[in-house]
Amino acid sequence: MSHVNANFDPAFWERARRHLVRYGADFFPLIVERAAGSFMTDATGRRILDFASGQMSAILGHSHPEIVDTVRHSIGELDHLYSAILSRPVVDLAEALAKLAPGKLERVLLLSTGGESNDAAIRMAKLATGGFEIVALSRSWHGVTGAAASATYAWSRRGYGPSQPGAIVIPAPDAYRPRFGSASGYDWQGELDYAFELVDRQSTGNLAACIAEPILSSGGILEPPEGYMAALAAKCRERGMLLIFDEAQTGLGRTGTMFACERDGVAPDLLTLSKTLGAGIPLSAVLATAEVEERCHERGFLFYTTHASDPLPAAVGLKVLEVIARDRLVERARSAGQRLREGLLSLQQRYDCIGDIRGRGLLMGMDLVKDRRTKEPAPELALAAMRRCLDLGMATSIVRGGLGVFRIAPPITISDAEIDLGLSIFDQSLRDVTR
């Protein structure tokens, strides 16, 4: 079977069209047969560099041998239990996360997905405070389930009717295209002050929490300026609100620190993890202070789900933490991220369509523009470049919503040679689509 026919098997795609619900963008035009390390292999036998870690989740690369061994052992010994029955992997993982977490986050709830963990955190914040109003940033992405969807403003709100009562939005900090200040400087403090003046005007006196990503990934890899998160925490304290950090994509070393919020020295009242915690296996967590958890328990907190405290994913999470610590992968993400950044900045010098390079560690954004002076986004160019990257042997991700931003998030186990390969494919792709 030829390369083209193997991936464009008419019978396969007809069955996919007939039987799959289309849940987002069009499916990539390839059939992946297996994946290992930083590469996937398609139906033609071609190896494709995965510069997005699957869904930003395969932080240790695909099919990491120790994760494979852990799953094999767990599936034969202890896989799933009734949610009220505990096992050693669950308590061990909770203890390990509590020891790693910033501040006083010492109580842990283990769940399956990021949206689920954000729903649980918001539910806890509402119960603990007695309020129901949730503040979120305007280009946030927290999930597609109930409360998480109501606090998501990236691009997915249209067509589903009213969001949950009490949803309040404030501007996402965007240093590249600031709306407050002048060309010489971004007045993020003025923007935040004005945002909370509007929050106070909208509130009915029932503010519960603010939820924020330390780096807004689906919003275009927006990195808040230093000092922003501390100022946001102060705004919350002044109003008796809880602060929730969603570290689905930034947690566990990807940004060069174990948690991205560590850069700012700010510890939230609740912190959520998902994607990276399971290294590709569905696993998420809510971390809470003892004070918040005790108050919620006293008031009858309820969040039974079928796979809460499942032992198999908990065992995987433990192995993920072990590998990250033993192999010094936080430091690796920092050094590899510097190599990636320097390579992207070099590309920016050669291609006028690259307006901005931003991010930290191995979570980087490359913002394509029609004109560097106006900074008008170039989403069509980004889509063409992404498709060309795939032709050249690299899968990557662009942010939806007309932004024209590449979201670059390879595994933190990636080698220097693989980083250089990805940069060379970006180079060739941009050369081809800008001719």
Residue numbers annotated as active site: 141, 213, 246, 249, 275, 407
Q: CA–CA separation, 408 vs 337, rounded Å?
A: 10
Give the separation between CA 368 and CA 363, rounded to whole angstroms: 16
User: Three-class SS string for the chain?
Assistant: CCHHHHHCCHHHHHHHHHHCCCCCCCCCCCCEEEEEECEEEECCCCEEEECCHHHHCCCCCECCHHHHHHHHHHHHHCCCCCCCCCCHHHHHHHHHHHHHCCCCEEEEEEECCHHHHHHHHHHHHHHHHCCCEEEEECCCCCCCCHHHHHCCCCCCCCCCCCCCCCEEEECCCCCCCCCCEECCEECHHHHHHHHHHHHHHHCCCCEEEEEECCCECCCCCECCCCCHHHHHHHHHHHCCCEEEEECCCCCCCCCCCCCHHHHHCCCCCEEEECHHHHCCCCCEEEEEEHHHHHHHHHCCCCCCCCCCCCHHHHHHHHHHHHHHHHCCHHHHHHHHHHHHHHHHHHHHHHCCCEEEEEEECCEEEEEEEEECCCCEECHHHHHHHHHHHHHHCEECEECCCCCCEEEECCCCCCCHHHHHHHHHHHHHHHHHHCC
| Contact assessment for residue 99 and residue 108, using Cβ atoms and an 8 Å cutoff | no
CA distance 87 to 90: 6
Query: Cα separation of 297 and 178, whole Å?
Result: 42
Cβ-contact 41, 47 below 8 angstroms:
yes
Answer for the pair 128, 288: CB distance below 8 angstroms, yes or no.
no
Radius of gyration for the chain, computed over Cα atoms and rounded to the nearest angstrom = 22
Quote the tokens at residue 221: 């890899």
